[in-house]
Amino acid sequence: MITIEEALEIVLKETKVLGFETVNILNSLNKVLAEDIYSKDNLPPFDKSAMDGYAIISDDTENASEEKPVKLKIKGTIKAGDFYKGQLKCGEALKIMTGAPVPNGADAVIQIENVEADNEEVAIFNPVEKNKNILNLGEEIKKGDIALLSGMTIRPSEIGLMASLGFSSAKVFKVPKMIVITTGDELIDVSEELISGKIRDCNGYSLMALGKNLQADVKFYGIVRDDMDVLFKKMQEAFEEGDIIITSGGVSAGDYDFVENCLKELGADIKFSSVAIKPGKPFTFAKYKDKLFFGLPGNPLAVINTFEQFVSPAAKKMMGKSDIHNKQFKVILGEDFKSVKGRTNYVYVNIEEKDGIYYAYKVGSQSSNQLLTISKANGIIILDKEMVKAGEEVNGRFIFK
């Protein structure tokens, strides 16, 4: 049985970044940019007024004062989106709106709040500096300058920036196609009647939601009965279609745990089939034709735990993310905790922050099929010894982050 750290290292070593695809910029949100983006234009593409006011020649205002204001003749108005073809001459002004191109000849804009004007003339009471309230051509970015670097995760601001630079699509890393299969004769779908000996499949739903949260392209192959031939066919199909294949159940030592046999018959390379993690020990990882296989346990809590610990970092690496690890921090135990010897115990807890310090409190039974427990938890603490006392410091992290 290998440790969690060893298992994660093997998983990530076998995980390769998927290819690229070109998508509409809106569909690139939260994906990873796979190309450097250079500006195709100067931005702003012209000298632009930063204010509503009057475009003027600054030298005209050199001697302006409260006592002796300079009066300029208003030649017209430039709206944003207009382009004034004439040339401003000494003694003239043009009313100008925010975002409008500064006319030829003008070298400053005076704010509307700082003048007095009628339809004919504008009075200016102070000298205006050259270039005042003008955003110069290329001041934001010059043609050929780099705007965004490959490898960054695209946020709303980057989508806006790409649009302003004229990019309607972007090259991004592909998201993995994730195939989910749940196994077991005892499973029925949520909509079926609960008859003797059966339980409702919850792992299919948990896994689809976990994959959806990662932006993966998730497909559920449904519940597969404990039948070697049927499972083999489904797994073969999954390896054709998916980048990540996930099963739940069928991986303990029982007579009807077929997953490992199917992997062997397929010729998959089984890297390990047991990890010192609780919940989640019977966990199989295999590789087949560059596809990753995760054979998760059947217990609902173990499914979520092993997904977050192993599948999530692998999926993030596939889609080019650099920040793939769950962020851990120090947590002080609010009460005593017990754990199981010989495995690293992930105990689902409620983590509360007080004055920048995190404290962990129990939320209920840790029995591995209690989804009810996790529904009350916001984090886990990681325990390596059997008894830990209130006040001790351990590592922890938030879940579903």
The interface with a second copy within residues 102-161 (CB under 8 A) comprises 112-113, 135, 139-141, 147-148, 152, 155-161
Side-chain-side CA neighbours of residue 260 (13 Å): 17
Q: Which is nearer to a second copy, 258 or 288 (CB)?
A: 258
Identify which range of 8-16, 246-254, 270-278, 314-322 contacts a second copy by CB under 8 A.
246-254
Return the ∠ at Cα 355 (arms to 349 and 360), rounded to 5°: 15
Q: Which ranges constitute the DSSP H helices of 1-124?
A: 4-14
* 62-81 binders of a second copy (CB under 8 A): 77, 79-81
Under the binding rule (CB under 8 A), the answer on residue 215 touching a second copy is: no
Binding residues for a second copy, total number by CB under 8 A: 90
DSSP 186-251: TEE-TTS---TT-EE--HHHHHHHHHHHTT-EEEEEEEE-S-HHHHHHHHHHHHHH-SEEEEES--
* 249-308 binders of a second copy (CB under 8 A): 252-256, 298, 300, 303-304
Helix or strand holding residue 355 (H, E): none
Q: Which ranges constitute the DSSP H helices of 248-349?
A: 259-266, 300-306, 312-318
Under the binding rule (CB under 8 A), the answer on residue 41 touching a second copy is: yes
Helix or strand holding residue 157 (H, E): helix 156-164
Nearest approach, Cβ of residue 192 and a second copy (Å): 9
Nearest approach, Cβ of residue 67 and a second copy (Å): 27
* 352-381 binders of a second copy (CB under 8 A): 356, 367, 369-372, 374-375
Q: Which is nearer to a second copy, 162 or 360 (CB)?
A: 162
Identify which range of 5-13, 194-202, 229-237, 261-269 contacts a second copy by CB under 8 A.
194-202
CB 252 within 8 A of CB 244: no
Under the binding rule (CB under 8 A), the answer on residue 176 touching a second copy is: no
* 319-348 binders of a second copy (CB under 8 A): none
Q: Which residues contact 207 (CB under 8 A, 6 or more apart)?
A: 180, 182, 218, 220, 246, 248, 296, 303, 307
When binding is defined by CB under 8 A, the residue of 9, 36, 45, 340 that contacts a second copy is 45
